[in-house]
Amino acid sequence: MIPSTTRLFPLIVAGIAATTGVLFLTMAQDADPPTQQEKAVTNDEFVSLFDGKTLNGWDGDPKLWRVEDGTITGETSDEEKITYNSFLTWANGEVDDFELKLEYRIFSGNSGIQIRSFALDKPYSVGGYQADIDAERNWAGTNYGEQFRGVLAKRGEKTVINEDGKPEVTGSLGDSAELAKVIKDKDWNTYHVIAKGNHIVCKINDVVMSDITDNDTDTRRRAGLLALQLHKGPAMKVQFRNIQLKRLPLGDLKKIVYVAGAPSHPARSHEHNAGAKLAAKLLNENHGDKVLVATYHNGWPNDPSAFQNADAIAIQSDGGPRHPAFWHLRQLNYLRDQGVGIGMLHYAVEMVPGETNDTLIAATGGAFEINYSVNPHWDGDFSEFPVHPVARGVKPFVVNDEWYFNMRFLPEMKGVTPILSAVPPDETMSRPDGHHSGNPEVRKMVAEKAPQHVCWVVERPEGGRGFGFTGLHYHDNWADDSFRQVIMNALCWIAKVEIPEGGIVTPKPTQEELDANLDPKPQPKPKQAPKKKAA
């Protein structure tokens, strides 16, 4: 939780944004930077998905799941039998390539661990790959396709799933009955699942129980839900503890983690969540052979493993103290040091002067600085582009947006290449001087018709890449082909995807796609009828 602003800053100035009527916070330049920064999660550590006390971060039927003696406990009864399998789903993210370790004990019935799975129509119902568990030890260690092609590998089998979805046994891991002897009855067992590409291995108590290679390209899944199962039928009880996850590099794909900030503005502006989902849809559906985009919404991920296997991260959000990374500079610096690409979109190019803005500049090459940079709305007329992969396929275009300019860049623009530059019209300086709206230096530049850089990229000394894109105040600008292509090119370029000569081409979003996932807006309170005067 972020501490109160009164504790954080000696001086905070509250103002009303003239163009939107939305409350924002800006910090005076002499304000202290944040000092409370949590430890960075490294790429080679296992992180805990269960706090041992609550079901925070998990979603399931509260009548069936609880925490008991430091364990996640699922239990059904004969008095109120469940009519279909019910699941407790990890709600903080999806899993792709990973190692999962947990301990389980089962007292009766059948259970399992869903991986890379998908939600079904019924409440708390999930389908997909399942690492099987059962009290009788007949199925434990099996890789079973829940609502997903059935048994994929029995305990003791090494299989290949062919294009027709049917498993072919290609090797033996041992006799099923002998393997079952290492599984403890009604006692704690360790389950270890390793998923890498289309290869999934299930181990119990350090013994390999099943091994599949899924070559069914039409059906197999690379990412999806993690969940725990309660099986329909007779009363049963199962417990889980010490649930730990470590993500693995994808290898054959570049992974982009797209973080969206919380809502703040009227409809169709600052639609960070809808923008993240739209970008992911366009890239995953049209360039899924190159990239996998994972999204997190409404702020910094609650998933501690979110960035472990990221090739690039992008943040579309509000800025200043509302920036999702504001209290996570150590993580951002760790990712930068690892060579992870880092991109910031719209207001996310701004934190506050000092440590936070310095972090942005080091990661992306530039940042918005209050009392220096400005944020007017104007028609950006972009007609010339550099010879750079991020400019490939981009044609001249004009788009009205809140194009920030006069950014604070790295000294001498070292490593920085401007991608979109235009001359702001005189009316951009119609507002009085202020933290965001104007200052003598920028007024002089506008009067002299100096081109301003509103999108840029950087190649960092440690080998990573970054970008800043100041537009995207208006969600519907995703429909402009060149506007959108600059973003798509930049996202893929910082992930070190090879950009083709024509750029990363995506279809123009339909109106339905633009309307999808918009943030709910608070409804205005109904006006009360005036009180009648007393006679």
CATH of the domain at 227: 2.60.120.560
Question: Which residue's entry shows tokens 């290679």?
Answer: 213
Q: Examine the fold and report which residue of 198, 214, 247 is the final residue of a domain before the chain moves on.
A: 247
Confirm whether 468 is domain-assigned: yes
Q: 324 with 463, same domain?
A: yes
Q: 71 with 155, same domain?
A: yes
Q: 380 with 490, same domain?
A: yes
Q: How far apart are the first and last CA of the chain?
A: 54
Q: Which of 171, 211, 214 is nearest to 192 (CA)?
A: 211
Sign of the four-CA dihedral 263, 304, 44, 249: negative
Instruction: Check residue 524 and give its pLDDT.
Output: 58
Instruction: Check residue 525 and give its pLDDT.
Output: 58
Domain count, the chain: 2
pTM of the prediction?
0.92
Q: 202 with 154, same domain?
A: yes
Question: Which residue's entry shows tokens 């039998």?
Answer: 81
Confirm whether 28 is domain-assigned: no
Sign of the four-CA dihedral 170, 176, 179, 185: positive
Which amino acid makes up residue 30? D
Instruction: Check residue 38 and give its pLDDT.
Output: 79
Domain of residue 301 covers 252-515
Instruction: Check residue 223 and give its pLDDT.
Output: 98
Confirm whether 21 is domain-assigned: no
DSSP state of 43: T
Instruction: Check residue 17 and give its pLDDT.
Output: 35
Phi, psi of 159 (to 5 degrees): -130, 160
Residue 240 CA to residue 159 CA, distance in Å, equals 28
**Angle, helix 272-286 to helix 481-494, in steps of 10 degrees:** 80
**Helix and strand tally (H, E) in the chain?**
8, 30
Q: 348 with 477, same domain?
A: yes
Residue 76 CA to residue 5 CA, distance in Å, equals 46
Q: Examine the fold and report which residue of 225, 247, 269 is the final residue of a domain before the chain moves on.
A: 247
Confirm whether 215 is domain-assigned: yes
Q: Are the C-beta atoms of 431 and 376 separated by less than 8 Å?
A: yes
Q: 307 with 455, same domain?
A: yes
Q: 176 with 200, same domain?
A: yes
Tokens of 128: 């997909």
Confirm whether 220 is domain-assigned: yes
Q: 190 with 320, same domain?
A: no
Confirm whether 117 is domain-assigned: yes
Q: 312 with 376, same domain?
A: yes
Residues 6+ apart with CB under 8 A from 399: 379, 380, 382, 471, 477, 480, 483
Low-confidence ranges of the chain (pLDDT < 70): 1-37, 522-535
Confirm whether 534 is domain-assigned: no
Q: Examine the fold and report which residue of 192, 214, 247 is the final residue of a domain before the chain moves on.
A: 247
Confirm whether 18 is domain-assigned: no
Q: 55 with 165, same domain?
A: yes
Q: 80 with 201, same domain?
A: yes
CATH of the domain at 290: 3.40.50.880
Count other C-beta atoms under 10 Å from residue 189's C-beta.
19
Q: 146 with 186, same domain?
A: yes
